[in-house]
Amino acid sequence: MKRWYKTLLILFAALTMGAFVYLGWAWFSNERSQLTDDLNRRARIIAKSLNRTFVKAIKQEASAHDIEVLESISEQGRTLGYFLCGVDGTPVLQTMIFEGVPYCEIIKTERGEKISQVENFGFERSAGSFVHIYSTPLLSKDKTVLGVAGIVHDASYIHDQMKTAFLWMTLSMALVALLISAATYFVSRLIFQRSVNEFISWVKEGNSVPKSVMSTLSLLKPVGREFTRLNAKLRSAQQTAQEVSQSKTDEELWTPVKLKAHVTSQIGEKKLIVVSNREPYIHTKEKGVVHVMHPASGLVTALDPVLKATSGLWIAHGSGNADQDVVDEENKVWVPEKAPIYQLKRVWLTKQEEEGYYYSFSNEVLWPLCHATHERPTFDDSAWTTYNRVNQKFCNCIAEEFSKKDSPHILIQDYHFSVLPKMIREKRNDAVIGLFWHIPWPILETFQICPWKREVLQGMLGANILGFHLSSYCNNFLNTVNALLPVRIDWDRQAIIHEGGTTYVKPFPISVQPWSERNLPEEATIQADTESWRQQLELGKTRLVVSVDRLDYTKGFSERLDAIKRFFENNPAYCGKITFVHLAAPSRTHIPRYREFDDRIEKKVDDINWTFGTEGWKPILFLKENHPPYKVYLFLRMAEVCLVSSLADGMNLVAKEFIAARENNDGVLILSEFAGAILELHDALCVNPYACQDFAETIRIALEMPHAQQVERMTRLKKQVLTNNVYKWASDLLTELTHPVHASQATATKTNLSKRS
Ligand code: GDG
């Protein structure tokens, strides 16, 4: 039932009650005033008819007959008597003892002066009975006040009648109130019962209480919310315990189960908040049906189990076209849908905010600046302003989650949020904040062209921990900060000591999730699908060289194509025998630079295919679309060689995914010396993508490498990748974040500050 309907019902009951009370009171007042009016009228008639006699009496000119007439009024019905007061307010003549006659008072103030006729009346208690008193000034012919005449009536019958009426009214109102309350109660019960039953059945089934049910029960909402939270925690703990007891994996190997157990022991009851631009679950709507999409991203893969283990909160930009439809009033949705364990809180951005913060400042300033691939950043003041505004928006959203008791633990992802750590620190000084930077950090000379370099650095220093993939990026960052800000660097501990505290800068090389965990089909199906793709793409018996990248200028597409062209020029015998397959995912197509880049690459591919292609053979298959992860896996398995030609790359996950996909431990990885992964993958063939001739020659060497050598190298590479997988990365990062040093530092700064204040 809608909330407004419930409110309306209660309002109706309250209004009806109010109306009854009002009507009862109006009737009561009306009765009373009618009876009073009767008495007033009667007293006025008597006073008028005796006026001459009263005047005579007050002037002490009354005859015995006059006195007799006056005294006889006490014998008439309810009239008890009269009184006369002089101009000084003292009684002159009276038929009954009547103490404290306030009705003579007016005369005192108007002594001897001319006034207009003023009546006075009221009820008094006299000698235990209830009387009505009417008084009126006695005037001479020239309107001079001579005194006051008063008529006294027995009013106890009014008192009795009103008492009885009041009793009846109270009784009947109590009855009406009882009836209305009973009716409201039964109607409410009737209406709410279904929702309560539904609520109870959700509780019994152990699921989270859905929004539809919650919204019908505003009174039970806090209970429902608390229940959902506890249930998620319980589910998470149950799942972890079950998985730990079932897992028989190698002690050395990091698995989601081991990560969960580790994180639980590290973080305990504390709530972990992860912040990223990209959300881990996207709700989309097609023909009115809502689907949940789990984006293929290393970051999501690594942090999803962490959130599941802690039953924490993930805050991200809500980008799906059905995202708004599924969230509650706090913009949160429980995920995963079938067995909710943690909450995803969505931040909504306007087109203008997305344009300035994401496309412009993040991807047209920080992305080219940090990759330093000779692409000039586009500095734009308004984009910087919007970037800050959006970071502040995320900060406010995070602050809504702070509990008074515990220091919040916040793990921020990537260059979209460089100024967020400082903003959070300003709101909550005891927060423990980590920022992981997924792209390289350039040398000082490159970074310092940024007009807002100090603001970016100061923003980042709000974090307790700054993570990069490589030590070299950490060193570049330390050098940059050292040169641009008034700080002290502790080079041994890789720490920056600044006015806000200490920020540690450490390397955490990211990695991949084993393919076996990604819901792959049976081996027979994989084989059949491989064959089907070969037929579909008319690959015949050609050998495959694969590349998988987002269509981004940093990935070295152009240089790779130059090397392929040179390879065919140098080795014409390979024509018709090798096919280079590019799985290219369109990326940031809203940015003109990216659209122009796409066009240039397509033209280059066309040129090579035109130059070397023959009837039935294309040297390059440029497959431009968002390929499903299973297809990526099939091609990484199908190919003999994988080409990664990044001009600059924080790590490069594709290189590691290729290694992880090699079922038979064969195949060759050609890896750019400018990809972060090169530091771990020593058995890859290293190339400088700018050196066209060497690159082309390396392709030939890879294609001609003896099988035994391939296996020897690939076995070592695989051990490296599987041991240092994405779960190890997440565990190292969280261990550092939850390290007691950071929590104690945060508390110490807080104590110092409060002492100062
Ligand atoms: C940033 C840093 C760092 C690619 N095409 C498709 C597809 N992919 C998947 C790959 C891989 C991921 O996207 C790309 O990861 P990379 O590491 O290669 O590159 P970036 O996107 O630039 O990532 C990078 C990374 O963050 C992690 O820190 O390594 O240096 O630049 O997983 O398989 N996936 C699907 N369809 C595609 O068409 N499903």
Cβ atoms 398, 437 nearer than 8 A: no
Site to probe by mutation for ligand 1, drawn from 468, 632, 645, 659 as the one with most ligand atoms within 8 Å of Cβ, is: 632
What are the two backbone dihedrals, phi and then psi, of residue 488, each rounded to the nearest 5 degrees?
-115, 135
Query: Do 316 and 346 meet the contact criterion of CB atoms below 8 Å apart?
Result: yes
pLDDT digits (tens, 9 = 90+) for 297-313: 767 877 887 888 778 99
Instruction: Give me the CATH topology for the region 3-160.
Output: Beta-Lactamase (3.30.450)
Tell me which range, 43-57, 135-149, 335-349, is most confidently predicted by mean pLDDT.
335-349
Nearest C-alpha neighbor of 656 from the set 695, 611, 572, 714? 714
Residue pair 479/442 in contact (Cβ under 8 Å)? The answer is no
Q: Where are the domains of the chain?
A: 3-160, 248-346+389-511+732-757, 520-723
Judge whether residue 206 has pLDDT over 60.
Answer: no
Please tell me the distance from the alpha carbon of residue 614 to that of residue 602, in angstroms, as a whole number: 19
Looking at the DSSP bridge assignments, the partners of residue 132 are 123, 153
Q: How far is the CA of 206 from the centre of ligand 1 (A)?
A: 37
Nearest CA owner, ligand 1 atom 20: 652
Give the whole-angstrom CA distance, residue 364 versus residue 383.
10
Residue 108 scores a pLDDT above 50? no
**pLDDT tier, 685 (very low <50, low <70, confident <90, very high otherwise):** very high
Residue minimizing CA distance to atom 1 of ligand 1: 438
Q: Ligand 1 centre from 655 Cα, in Å? A: 10
Q: Which two tokens stand for residue 244?
A: 């730990």
Arithmetic mean of pLDDT, 678-682: 98
Q: How far is CA 240 from CA 45, 82, 521, 725, 735, in A?
A: 98, 98, 25, 19, 18
Q: Domain 248-346+389-511+732-757 is of which CATH architecture?
A: 3-Layer(aba) Sandwich (3.40)
| Residue that is written with structure tokens 């001079």 in the block | 144
For 625-667, what is each residue's pLDDT tens digit?
989 999 999 999 999 999 999 999 999 999 999 999 999 999 9
Q: What is the mean pLDDT of residues 572-594?
A: 96
Across the range 40-50, mean pLDDT stands at 86
Work out the average pLDDT over 343-368: 97
- CA 457 / ligand 1 centre spacing (Å): 26
CB 308 within 8 A of CB 239: yes
Is the Cα dihedral 243, 248, 249, 251 positive or negative? positive
CA separation for the pair 535, 696 (Å, rounded)? 28
Please report the pLDDT score of residue 149 as a whole number.
85
Contacts of residue 686, defined as CB under 8 A and 6 or more positions apart, other chains included, come to 671, 672, 673, 678
CA angle 310, 316, 321 (to 5 degrees): 125
Name the H helices within 206-322.
Answer: 211-216, 221-246, 256-267, 298-310
**Any atom of ligand 1 within 6 Å of the Cβ of 366:** no
**418: CA distance to ligand 1 center in Å?**
21
Position of tokens 């990223």? Answer: 276
Report pLDDT for 320: 96
Above pLDDT 90, what percent of the chain?
56
- Contact (Cβ atoms closer than 8 angstroms) between residue 215 and residue 329: no
Return the HEC string of 686-747. EECCCCHHHHHHHHHHHHHCCHHHHHHHHHHHHHHHHHCCHHHHHHHHHHHHCCHHHHHHHH
User: How much of the chain, in percent, has pLDDT values that exceed 70?
Assistant: 85
Residue with tokens 């950071």: 742
Distance 438 CA to ligand 1 centre (A): 11
- The b/e string for 455-487 (b: 16+ C-beta within 10 A; e otherwise) is ebbbbbbbbbbbbbbbeebbbbbbbbbeebeeb
* pLDDT 10s digits, 585-614: 999 999 999 999 999 999 999 999 999 999
pLDDT confidence of residue 116: 47
pLDDT interval class at 275 (50, 70, 90): very high
- From ligand 1's centre to the CA of 654, what distance in Å? 6
The model's pLDDT over 520-551, given as tens digits with 9 standing for 90+, comes to 999 999 999 999 999 999 999 999 999 999 99
Residue 105 has pLDDT above 70, yes or no: no
Q: Can you tell me the distance from the alpha carbon of 115 to that of 581, in angstroms, rounded to the nearest whole number?
A: 116
Ligand 1: residue of 370, 412, 550, 587 to mutate (most ligand atoms within 8 A of CB) is 550
Which pLDDT value is given to residue 423? 98
The amino acid sitting at 601 is: I
Q: At what angle do helices 471-484 and 453-460 cross, to 10 degrees?
A: 120
Q: 520-723 maps to which CATH number? A: 3.40.50.2000
CA distances 653 to 320, 415, 509, 656, 715, Å, are 25, 18, 11, 5, 18
Question: Distance from first CA to last CA of the chain, Å, rounded?
Answer: 51
Q: Does ligand 1 have an atom closer than 6 angstroms to the CB of 298?
A: yes
Q: Are 357 and 382 in contact (CB under 8 A)?
A: no
Asked whether the beta carbons of 686 and 701 are under 8 A apart, the reply is no
pLDDT (mean) for 717-742: 90
Atom of ligand 1 minimally distant from the CA of 657? 33
Interval between CA 114 and ligand 1 midpoint (Å) = 106
Q: Are 496 and 503 in contact (CB under 8 A)?
A: yes
Q: What is the mean pLDDT of the chain?
A: 87
- pLDDT bin (cut points 50, 70, 90) of residue 397 is very high
Angle between helices 51-58 and 64-72 (to 10 degrees): 130
Please, where are the H alpha helices in 428-485? Answer: 444-447, 453-460, 471-484
Rg of the chain over all Cα atoms, to the nearest angstrom: 45
Look at residue 754 in the predicted model and tell me its pLDDT. 35
Same fold, 248-346+389-511+732-757 and 520-723: yes
| 50-59, 123-132, 227-236, 701-710: segment of lowest average pLDDT | 227-236
Quote the CA–CA distance of 390 and 23 in Å, as a whole number: 58
Measured CA to CA in angstroms, residue 636 lies from 247, 656, 746 at distances of 28, 11, 46
Question: In angstroms, what is the span from residue 631 Cα to ligand 1's centroid?
Answer: 14
The conformational region for residue 287 under phi > 0 = left, psi -120 to 50 = alpha, else beta, is: left
User: What is the per-residue pLDDT for 415?
Assistant: 98
pLDDT at 19: 79
For residue 37, pLDDT over 50 is answered with yes
pLDDT at 471: 97
Pairing of β 91-94 and β 79-85:
antiparallel
Cis peptide before 336 (omega within 30 of 0): yes
Q: pLDDT-based confidence at 256, cuts 50/70/90?
A: confident
Flag whether pLDDT at 120 surpasses 90: no
Q: Whose CA is nearest to atom 10 of ligand 1?
A: 654
Q: Is the CB of 548 under 6 A from ligand 1?
A: yes
Q: Does ligand 1 come within 6 angstroms of the Cβ of 133?
A: no
Position 109 confidence tier, pLDDT thresholds 50, 70, 90: very low
Place of tokens 């706090």: 330
The one-letter amino acid at 304: D
